[in-house]
Structure 1
């Protein structure tokens, strides 16, 4: 099992559970998380979903070793949902999504905050959008959602620099509502999730729809632009250099590349 699923008081908690891989998303975890969101969406007994990670990381993003296999092995078997299916499930998820960032969040472990209705972060956690260091493009509609959430310059720094962002900086930007001591993170997130879950599900859905609907077309357009750019760059010289460097335990050298 790569995803723990538990229910309590109309809150469904999803725990990313690949701690030895820092909860990096392989095809199995993408499929499990997307399917869990689809099931929670359809379950009349679920009012709120709370997402967090097991161990010292929230998620290290896409599993780079598996990404290298996908880029180089035409016979690699992809999952039923994959990354695109998870993003679609997030875009369409009709109920409140609460995210508790318990540790490192890279790639989708950071960009998923664009879909959070409430987000909380341990004060020891950090975020990174490592797209330029991997020679690829943004993902998960972050090129639209991040500027909308935090403003152009903070979004540009996160998406262009591939630098770490601290929990306090994430709170200042508006990516998370509250920064907590690690031991207080889940109790705080659960308390807020329980407050929402005590409200009528029909009303929660109506409020979220009213907030999200004006952005849906722009989110989908951003996702399509990003997917096209990602497909163009994945397997290209910069991406292959980044993946080789990761596999060899060294820093990539892009100085000879455009």
Structure 2
């Protein structure tokens, strides 16, 4: 599938919108899609015409996470390096970053929500991080962000025991800001986004910097460590095949 089809990029006023668009794979993200989103985030970060970045999915899924069935793209390098760069782009983004979760968010799609500034979700969505079930470890800085957002016990239940967090629970725990009925997502959510986009850009950027500076280095370290552990598992798996 062509990159232009798997990532839809649009702009409405000062709002840049990115949609994961691979409905046949429940919007699973491959290396080419990761690279595309990294570039969009980095370009939006320095574009004075953009004040808000929105991530969402097409169809009935936000994203099912990594597309393990997709062949690696020869031009994107090692998958874990791309993944690390993708997560860092979230950590370093200086403007308002909003996720509109139109359906289930799994794996990397769920963990990076904790790096967004606001999350609006359909009440039909759920959040799942089945890392141990897949024989890997947590990523997306979730070993740092999930305990802070959800509390240590619920974070452990999600990251170690593959607990599926409902939209209602996500709202109660503060993992998302608001939940809406599916038919309301495209109306009420966007009214709120437009409202946010009209706030003074300079004040927003400075305030976000003040908030994020306190934890940014810890997030970067968490990402480094998680990727390091994922790489160790990958190397061990490769050796076992020899």
Q: Alpha carbon RMSD of aligned pairs, Å?
A: 2.0
Q: Give the distance between the partners of 1:103 and 1:163, measured in 2 at CA.
A: 17
Map 1:41-190 → 2, pairs under 5 A: 41-66=45-70, 77=74, 79=76, 82-190=82-190
Q: With the length of structure 1 as denominator, give the TM-score of the two structures.
A: 0.85
Q: Give the distance between the partners of 2:75 and 2:29, measured in 1 at CA.
A: 13
Q: Deviations over 1:28-71 (max 9, x none)?
A: 110111111111111110000111001111011011223xx66x
Q: With the length of structure 2 as denominator, give the TM-score of the two structures.
A: 0.90
Name the structure 2 match of 1:201: 201
Equivalent pair of 2:26/2:61 in contact (CA under 8 Å): yes
Q: Give the distance between the partners of 2:83 and 2:221, measured in 1 at CA.
A: 16
Q: 2:30 aligns with which of 26, 29, 32?
A: 26
- 3-state SS of paired residue (2:214): helix
Equivalent pair of 2:84/2:223 in contact (CA under 8 Å): no
Q: Give the distance between the partners of 2:88 and 2:139, measured in 1 at CA.
A: 12
Equivalent pair of 2:27/2:58 in contact (CA under 8 Å): yes
Equivalent pair of 1:23/1:60 in contact (CA under 8 Å): yes
Q: Which runs of 4+ in 1 moved over 3 A?
A: none
Q: Deviations over 1:70-89 (max 9, x none)?
A: 6xxxxx62526721221111
- Alignment gaps of 5+ in structure 1: 71-75, 241-258
Q: Give the distance between the partners of 2:66 and 2:119, measured in 1 at CA.
A: 21
- How many Å apart are 1:189 and its aligned residue? 2.5
